[in-house]
Amino acid sequence: MKVKLASSYGFCFGVKRAIKIAEAYENSATMGPLIHNQDEINRLKNDFNVGLYQNLKEVKDDDTVIIRTHGIPKNDLKDLKAQKAKVINATCPFVTTPQQIVKKMSKEGYSILIFGDSSHPEVKGVKSYGEDQDDVHVIMEIDEIKNLNFKNSKIATVAQTTKKKEKYLEIVNHLILRNKEVRVFNTICDATFENQDAARDLSKEVDVMVVIGGKNSSNTKQLHSICKENCEDSYLIENHNEIENSWFEGKKLCGVTAGASTPDWIIQEVVNKIEKIN
């Protein structure tokens, strides 16, 4: 069976980079899970002895600690550096950017608005860089904006990297109509949408489509649903064991894509198995 991979699939740039960093530091430990995929965490543990800490207290002197793509709050990073542990910062550059923007803008006297989920580690980290924590506001929905009390008439805004642009614009427009100056930083990352666009394109040109990812992963389910719109024979699997030969009977070309938490080696196993089917 001939297989064609989507032009963009699986891990985003930041996660790929963090995994390469982890592989380069054997016997280290990540601060929090590097990725929402237990198979990959196990692989890093087995092949590179990369451990996992859940909080700062577990860190011991002379440890090598890897900060994951989401980043961590400013003071946690300071505490870590104050210890004797060696700190390897694998924070995604697309997350470092809003952290530095919040730091700079808040120093320059801007009130800060972050569009994102206040309980998400990325947002917690970005927020922590504000000088005046009472003037760094986080909202998920436009409705929450009327409850905010900005201390300044100059507002700077950033967005969590995985948020939708349309909702960010809605919030930004509200601010522009009510404030003298709004400094808008578009910190939204296109990775999620790139996988979706690529899946849409590929599913239009193949006979059968295989989507690899967690059955409970919302981004994988969305990929599957996009593929089904264009290719009725689209299947969602977690790994190669679920492949059924009957799917490929009378088909000529199989498209493959994967959710954002699916490691390359799981994808490769799937591709290898499908390619062997006659």
Catalytic residues: 122
Which H or E run contains 4?
strand 2-5
CB 257 within 8 A of CB 211: yes
253 binds a copy of itself (CB under 8 A): no
Please report the DSSP string for 29-88 in residue order: EEES-SSS-HHHHHHHHHHH--EEESSGGG--TT-EEEE-TT---HHHHHHHHHSSSEEE
Q: Was 219 annotated as part of a binding site?
A: yes
Amino acid at 235: Y
From the list 169, 243, 253, 277, which residue makes contact with a copy of itself (rule: CB under 8 A)?
Answer: 169
Out of 152, 179, 225, 230, point to the residue binding a copy of itself (CB under 8 A).
179
Q: What is the largest CA-CA distance in the chain?
A: 67
Who contacts 97 (Cβ-Cβ below 8 Å, separation ≥6)? 185, 187
Cβ closer to a copy of itself: 43 or 174? 174
The one segment of 44-52, 57-65, 141-149, 178-186 that binds a copy of itself by CB under 8 A: 178-186
Distances in whole angstroms, Cα of residue 19 to Cα of each of 11, 50, 238: 10, 10, 20
Q: Which of 148, 176, 243, 277 binds a copy of itself (CB under 8 A)?
A: 176
**Judged by CB under 8 A, which stretch of 68-76, 138-146, 161-169, 195-203 contacts a copy of itself?**
161-169
Between 179 and 225, CB nearer to a copy of itself: 179
Residue 180 within binding range of a copy of itself, rule CB under 8 A: yes
Least Å distance between CB 90 and a copy of itself? Answer: 23
State which H helix or E strand residue 16 sits in. Answer: helix 13-24
Residue 182 sits in the site that holds a copy of itself (CB under 8 A): yes
The dihedral through the CA atoms of 10, 16, 20, 21 has a sign that is negative
Residues of span 183-222 touching a copy of itself by CB under 8 A: 183-186
Concatenated DSSP letters of 105-151: HHHTT-EEEEES-TTSHHHHHHHTT-SSGGGEEEESSGGGGGG---S
Rounded distance between C-alpha atoms, residue 109 and residue 211, angstroms: 47
Residue (23 or 170) nearer to a copy of itself, CB: 170
Number of residues engaging a copy of itself in binding (CB under 8 A) = 15
Among residues 181, 205, 232, 242, which is the contact residue for a copy of itself, using CB under 8 A? Answer: 181
Pick from 38, 49, 118, 173 the residue near a copy of itself by CB under 8 A: 173
Residue 179 C-beta: closest distance to a copy of itself, Å = 7
Residue ranges for the binding site? 12, 36, 70, 92, 120, 161, 189, 217-219, 261
Residue ranges for the binding site for dimethylallyl diphosphate? 36, 70, 120, 217-219, 261
